[in-house]
Structure 1
Amino acid sequence: MTTADVKSRFEAKLLRPAKAGNDTTWAFVVLPKDASEPLPRRGRTTVEGTINGHPFQATLEPDGQQSHWLRVSSELLEAAGAAVGDIVPIELAPVKKEPEPDIPVDFEEALAASPEAREIWNKTTTIARVDWIHWMTSAKQVKTRAKRIGDACDMLAAGKKHVCCFDPSGYYSKAFRAPEAEDI
């Protein structure tokens, strides 16, 4: 694994989300502020590390409180020999190079229909693309998501390389937060 020199080590309790939807097999951890502070950004950021000694790579989500939270999949729980309620050692470091985000199908189709937007999209940085996609996919309603995709294509076609008016940390807009934990 290739990581930056900054590593955070801490212990945390694996929590079950109170509103997990149809998938109740995952858990999460809210990072302590001192583990989140050295990360390169308050928005989505990718890290590599270990949980209970098992290596993983994941994208941390902003918690709206200038920190991050980590979604722990059922596969990672099993591989790490851990369960909801366990207190586990975690080690994290930011990756040296943020991986390219997956482009949602609906946005890919919109880019295909707008060569001007596609041209600027291809000239943006990886971090800018992460923020664009996060802005679109964080919409709570299908209608809002569709509008954001249209707006993104319009802004990109106009030459904007960064999404405007979007707080990727959720701190100022309170748009993001860690899940509420179920009482265990």
Structure 2
Amino acid sequence: MTDGFLHGTVHTAGADMQAAVSADRDTLALWQGLTPLGRNEFICWVDDAKQDKTRARRIARTCDELHEGKKRPCCWAGCIHRTDKPPSAWQQAVLIDKKAT
């Protein structure tokens, strides 16, 4: 984190996300005010996008949601990459084991 941009507990924001968040001083301040876990959730959600246009849309939505006062991405089950806690039963079944519910 030598660049001064704060990342998540597990994930590091990509250059595109860093540029979008840093482009506006207020957005950057809101980002820096999140907990490391909150930043991690947003980064994981953005990184989970399969297409570039979805990723770009999620980055823009991250900036919007920060201004709406959100601390985590809306409708996101949570990061399954964390090692400090096991995934929930739902995360394990649906996101990791890919079982239909």
Fold equivalence (TM over 0.5): yes
Q: Which runs of 4+ in 1 moved over 2 A?
A: 98-101, 169-172, 176-179
| Letter in structure 1 aligned against 2:58 | R
What is the CA-CA distance between 1:119 and the residue it aligns to? Answer: 1.0
CA distance in 2, matches of 1:146, 1:127: 21
**Aligned match of 1:177 in 85, 96, 99?**
96
Aligned length: 80
Q: TM-score, normalised by structure 2?
A: 0.67
**Larger Cα Rg: Structure 1 or Structure 2?**
1
- Structure 1 counterpart of 2:41: 131
Unmatched runs of 5 consecutive residues or more in structure 2: 1-7, 81-86
CA contact (8 A) 1:120 1:160 kept: no
CA distance in 2, matches of 1:143, 1:105: 15
- Structure 1 counterpart of 2:18: 108
Question: Which structure exhibits the higher relative contact order, with contacts defined as CA atoms closer than 8 Å and separated by 6 or more residues?
Answer: 1
What is the CA-CA distance between 1:103 and the residue it aligns to? Answer: 1.7
What is the CA-CA distance between 1:178 and the residue it aligns to? Answer: 5.5
- Structure 2 counterpart of 1:151: 61
CA contact (8 A) 1:114 1:157 kept: no
- Structure 1 counterpart of 2:3: none
| RMSD value, Cα | 2.4
What is the CA-CA distance between 1:99 and the residue it aligns to? Answer: 3.9
> Which structure: greater strand fraction?
1
State the secondary structure of the residue aligned to 1:103: coil
Identity %: 31
What is the CA-CA distance between 1:100 and the residue it aligns to? Answer: 6.3
State the secondary structure of the residue aligned to 1:161: coil
| Letter in structure 1 aligned against 2:27 | A
- Structure 2 counterpart of 1:75: none
What is the CA-CA distance between 1:125 and the residue it aligns to? Answer: 0.7
CA distance in 1, matches of 2:10, 2:97: 24
CA distance in 2, matches of 1:157, 1:114: 11
